[in-house]
Amino acid sequence: MTEEEKPRSSNFIRQIIADDLSRNKNNGRVHTRFPPEPNGYLHVGHAKSICLNFGLAAEHAGGQCNLRFDDTNPEKEKIEYIEAIKDDIHWLGFDWEDRLFYASDYFEQLYDYAVHLIREAKAYVDSLNLEEMREYRGTLTEPGRESPDRNRSIEENLDLFKRMRAGEFEAGQYVLRARIDMASPNINMRDPTIYRIKKTRHHRTGDSWNIYPMYDYTHCISDALEGITHSLCTLEFEDHRPLYDWFLDQLPVPCHPQQIEFARLNLNYTVTSKRKLNELVDEGHVRGWDDPRMPTIVGMRRRGYPPAAIRDFCERIGITKNDTVIDMSVLENCVREELDRTTCRVMAVINPLRVVITNFPEDQEELLDAPYHPNLPEMGSREVPFSHVIWIERDDFMEDPPKKFFRLAPGREVRLRYAYFITCEEVIKDDSTGEVVELRCSYDPQTRGGSAPDGRKVKGTIHWVSAAQALETEVRLYDRLFTVPEPGRLEDWRATLNPESVRIISGAMLEPGLLQAKAEESFQFERLGYFCVDAKDSKPDRPVFNRTVTLRDSWVKQNKSS
C-alpha cells in the first residue's frame, strides 16, 4: 500500500477545515505555514508540525503551506540552522515551493503597525525595568497595576519609539507595550511588551535595527500578511490566542487567520526541547546534532529512519488536544514496517566465532544464490561465497545448551542460511582463558540450498559469512539515550543519560557485496536488525554501519520477563 492509499483518520483540525470549506470561509482556501525559529536543529516534534501543516495543505486542492523563519531573536539564530531546517523539510518529503519567508522581511511593516497602535492609543513606551514590570504585572490571583507611563501622550510615545529605533537608548531603558488591560484574568493581556531594544546584529537585516518585535506581536501579523487561513500551534499558545486576535482586530491587516492549538509531541526516553538538545551537543554528551541517538531530524536520518516512516508515525499518533507521552516503540515500529518492505536482506556477523568446515576443500570457493527478500522476488538475489572457513555469531553456539536452544552445540546439526547443514564436531579453546576460539564442523554436501534429500530436519537456521571474502568493518549499536521514560521532567536530567546508548563493534564481518553500499543505504542484517551506512564516517573501502533498529522490540520482551 503506498502512502497515498493509506486511510487517513480524521482529526479535529481536519474537521474544522472541512467545516470552513463547506461554508466557503476564506473563499475555500487552505493556507498553512510552518514557522521555525532558526535557533537549533529540528526534532521529531517539529516533524509532527511539518507533517500536519504541509500535509493539510497537500490534501486540499490548491492548498499551500509556507515556510517562515521566525527570526526575531538575533542572539540565538544562525544561518547554519536556516540551511539545516530547509534540508530537513525537503528530506521529510515536503516543499514550500516559492513560499519561503522570514519574519524579518516584515520588520518595516511591523514597525508601521506599532506606530499605528501608538496613534490609536493602543500602545505606549514604558520605562519600567524588567523587575518592576514583573512586579506591576500581578499574579494569577491578583490584578496587575498600571505603569506610571501608561498615559504618556501619543506625541511623546511616537517620539520615544522613533528614538528607540534610532538607537538613542540602551537595552532595557524602554520597551513598547500594548495598552490592553492590566486587570485581565489572562496575564498575557496585561499590557504585553511588543518591542524591546536590542543592539544586536541580525543575520539578515544587519545593523539596521536597534529594536526587535516580540514573538506574539510578530507571529499573528506575519500570518495575516501571508494570507494564512489556519495558524496551527502547540497547546502552550492557547492562552496567547486572545492576544493573537487582539492585535489583528486593532490593525488594518489583510485578513484574520484562525489560531488552532494541538498537543505537542512528547516521546519517552528522549528529550524534545531545543534548549536541552543544544546542551547535549554543547556539553559533549553526544557527537553533534546529527548523532544517531538524537531525536533530531538529522539524527534520525543518520540513524537510518526513512522519511516515510516518520510521516507514517506522525499520521498514526494523530492530532489531539491531550498532552501525552508517546512510546518510542511506536516510532520504532513505523521504522521497522517501512524498512521491512524496502530493504535487502544480507548477512553480517557482529560478534564472530571462527568455524572451520573440515570436509570443504581449503582452496575452494562456492557461490550460493541468496534472495534479497523472502517475500519480494522482484528485489532479486545475489551470490554469496562459501568456503573452508566461515564466521558465525558467537551467540549461536553454546557448549552446554539448555533444552530450548536450537542452534549450534557439540554434536548438533544446524542449517546455514542459503547454504548447507553443518554439524559441530570439535570445540577448540584457548588454553589459558578457556574461551572458545574455533569450532570444527563438517558439512553435508547433499543439503545445498537448505534441505536434506533424506528428509531429516534441523531446528535451527543461523547466518554466517565466509571468512576469506568477508568485509571487516565497524558497526555501531544504539540504544535509548536516556534510562528513564521522562528525563525532561527531572531537574538533573543529564544524570539519566544512558551510558550504554552506543556500542562500537570494530571487527564485524559482513558479506563482501556490502562494500558497494552507498551512503545512507539501509539493509536488514538477517536476524540482527536494520542497519544503514553512516554518511559521515564511512570510507570508500570501509563503510561504517549504524543499527537503525532491532528486528523486534527487545524492550517489550525485557519488561515482560522482569
Catalytic positions are 37, 264, 274
Cα–Cα distance measured from residue 253 to residue 256, given in angstroms and rounded to the nearest whole number = 7
Q: Which helix H or strand E contains 397, and what residues bound it? A: none
CB of 135 to ligand ATP, least distance (A): 27
Q: Near ligand ATP by CB under 6 A, which window of 57-65, 141-149, 267-275, 503-511?
A: 267-275
Residue 177 binds ligand ATP (CB under 6 A): no
Q: How many other CB atoms are found less than 10 A from the CB of residue 237?
A: 19
Q: Near ligand ATP by CB under 6 A, which window of 14-22, 87-95, 184-192, 270-278?
A: 270-278
Q: Which helix H or strand E contains 4, and what residues bound it? A: none
Identify which of residues 188 and 234 has a Cβ nearer to ligand ATP in the complex.
234
Residue 48 binds ligand ATP (CB under 6 A): yes
Q: How far is CA 531 from CA 187, 522, 536, 539, in A?
A: 51, 6, 15, 16
Residue nearest to ligand ATP (CB): 45
Rounded to a whole number of angstroms, the distance between the first and last alpha carbons of the chain is: 37
Cα–Cα distance measured from residue 548 to residue 213, given in angstroms and rounded to the nearest whole number = 42
Q: How many other CB atoms are found less than 10 A from the CB of residue 486?
A: 16
- For residues 530 and 335, is the Cβ–Cβ distance under 8 A? yes
Interior/surface letters 154-164, b for 16+ CB within 10 angstroms, e for the rest: eeebeebbeeb
Cα–Cα distance measured from residue 489 to residue 276, given in angstroms and rounded to the nearest whole number = 12
Q: Which of 57, 176, 233, 298 binds ligand ATP (CB under 6 A)?
A: 233
- For residues 543 and 473, is the Cβ–Cβ distance under 8 A? yes
Identify which of residues 46 and 137 has a Cβ nearer to ligand ATP in the complex.
46
Cα–Cα distance measured from residue 552 to residue 506, given in angstroms and rounded to the nearest whole number = 24
CB of 66 to ligand ATP, least distance (A): 12
Residue 49 binds ligand ATP (CB under 6 A): yes
Query: Which DSSP symbol is given to 312?
Result: H
Residue 46 binds ligand ATP (CB under 6 A): yes
Cα–Cα distance measured from residue 554 to residue 562, given in angstroms and rounded to the nearest whole number = 12
Residue 45 binds ligand ATP (CB under 6 A): yes
CB of 277 to ligand ATP, least distance (A): 7
Identify which of residues 239 and 430 has a Cβ nearer to ligand ATP in the complex.
239
CB of 371 to ligand ATP, least distance (A): 41
Cα–Cα distance measured from residue 66 to residue 227, given in angstroms and rounded to the nearest whole number = 10
**Where in 425-454 is the site for ligand ATP (CB under 6 A)?**
none
Residue 264 binds ligand ATP (CB under 6 A): yes
Q: Near ligand ATP by CB under 6 A, which window of 40-48, 287-295, 379-387, 505-513?
A: 40-48
Identify which of residues 160 and 265 has a Cβ nearer to ligand ATP in the complex.
265
Cα–Cα distance measured from residue 103 to residue 411, given in angstroms and rounded to the nearest whole number = 73
Identify which of residues 273 and 381 has a Cβ nearer to ligand ATP in the complex.
273
CB of 42 to ligand ATP, least distance (A): 8
Q: Which of 73, 186, 193, 234 binds ligand ATP (CB under 6 A)?
A: 234
Looking only at the bridges linking them, the beta strands covering 193-197 and 211-213 are antiparallel
CB of 115 to ligand ATP, least distance (A): 27
Q: Near ligand ATP by CB under 6 A, which window of 186-194, 266-274, 478-486, 487-495?
A: 266-274
Looking only at the bridges linking them, the beta strands covering 365-371 and 258-262 are unpaired
Residue 35 binds ligand ATP (CB under 6 A): yes
- For residues 109 and 118, is the Cβ–Cβ distance under 8 A? no
Q: Which helix H or strand E contains 326, and what residues bound it? A: strand 325-326
Strand, coil or helix: 421: strand
Say how many residues touch ligand ATP, by CB under 6 A.
16
Query: Which DSSP symbol is given to 35?
Result: -
Identify which of residues 78 and 163 has a Cβ nearer to ligand ATP in the complex.
78
Q: How many other CB atoms are found less than 10 A from the CB of residue 69?
A: 23
- For residues 119 and 220, is the Cβ–Cβ distance under 8 A? no
Identify which of residues 49 and 147 has a Cβ nearer to ligand ATP in the complex.
49
CB of 420 to ligand ATP, least distance (A): 52
Residue 89 binds ligand ATP (CB under 6 A): no
Q: Which of 110, 265, 286, 419 binds ligand ATP (CB under 6 A)?
A: 265
Cα–Cα distance measured from residue 186 to residue 239, given in angstroms and rounded to the nearest whole number = 7
Identify which of residues 317 and 517 has a Cβ nearer to ligand ATP in the complex.
317
Residue 273 binds ligand ATP (CB under 6 A): yes
Query: Which DSSP symbol is given to 221?
Result: H
**Where in 64-83 is the site for ligand ATP (CB under 6 A)?**
70
Identify which of residues 45 and 257 has a Cβ nearer to ligand ATP in the complex.
45
Q: Which of 274, 311, 463, 480 binds ligand ATP (CB under 6 A)?
A: 274
Q: Which residues bind ligand ATP (CB under 6 A)?
A: 35-37, 45-46, 48-49, 70, 233-234, 264-265, 272-275
